[in-house]
Amino acid sequence: MSEQRAVKKMRLDAFLSRAGRGTRSEVRQLIRRGRVLLDGAVCRRAGEHVEGRAVQVDGDQVVAPADSLHVVLFKPLGVSCSHDPREAPLVDGLLPAAWRRLGLQMVGRLDRATTGLLVLTTDGALLHELTHPSRKVVKRYRVRFAGRLPADAAERCAEGFQIGKEERPTRSARLEVEATDRATIHLREGRYRQVRRMFRRLGVEVTALHRDRVGDYDLPEDLRPGEWALLEEEDLERLLRDSSL
């Protein structure tokens, strides 16, 4: 799992905590037990400065995330994007505890029954770019459904139609029907439970929903449900790149 940072003057314990290796007290335990190396030598001083030095924990190179933290998570089935502990299990519980105070925000939340690509960031400007309607970032969803789609389903999605009591019709979307119970849909917007509501309006019920692409960025194949990875600069560019429609 890659981790990236332009290192600034920072104590060893703060560095490890920001890198997601545990809370301050937890990483101090690692340091006291001799599991942390600085430039190849065991360091038991939590206050040692790390700028310009190689840091390892149990033999693994550690590089703390940048001031702006960007994460991709494979959200599993049954996990909530809420921050309310009464709705546990939560996405927050899948991330290092040390990151919870950094203000990570979710880009385009997924409901509890939807799996797949979830982006989290501390960068408000990136959040705005990925969610503002003017950007029209495309999201791709894999859909399984029960029922029979009408013959003109793809045309209706392309034209847009009203869902629920909303006056404004949906934006043009591309629907690709792949089997009698399976389809892929590409959207440029993210209304509340939009895919499920659109398919219900088309006369079928979604039984499984998975988001696997945002912009031109695909959910990494090596991520398993519940796992996360840090996003590199090139990944952020792909998230914002127009990929279809």
Q: How confident is the model at residue 1 (pLDDT cuts 50, 70, 90)?
A: very low
Equal fold, 70-133+216-239 vs 139-214: yes
Q: Which of these is catalytic: 39, 58, 60, 111?
A: 111
Domain spans in the chain, listed from the N-terminal domain onward: 12-62, 70-133+216-239, 139-214
Task: Look up 152 and say whether it is catalytic.
Answer: no
Percent of the chain predicted with pLDDT > 70:
93
Burial class (CB in 10 A: 0-12, 13-18, 19+), 143: buried
pLDDT digits (tens, 9 = 90+) for 177-234: 999 999 999 999 989 999 999 999 999 999 999 999 999 999 999 999 999 988 888 9
> What confidence score (pLDDT) does residue 112 get?
97
Q: Which CATH architecture has domain 139-214?
A: 2-Layer Sandwich (3.30)
Pick the CATH number of 12-62 from 3.10.290.10, 3.40.140.80, 2.120.10.30, 1.10.10.10: 3.10.290.10
Q: At the top level of CATH, which class does the domain 70-133+216-239 belong to?
A: alpha beta
Instruction: Quick: pLDDT tens for 33-83.
Output: 999 999 999 999 999 998 888 999 999 888 765 567 889 999 999 999 998
Structure tokens at 91: 């996405």
Given a cut of 50, whether residue 7 has pLDDT beyond it is no
Q: How do the residues of the chain divide into helix, strand and coil, expressed in percent and rounded to 5?
A: 25, 25, 50
- What percent of the chain has a predicted confidence (pLDDT) above 90? 66
Joined tokens for residue 60:
């693994």
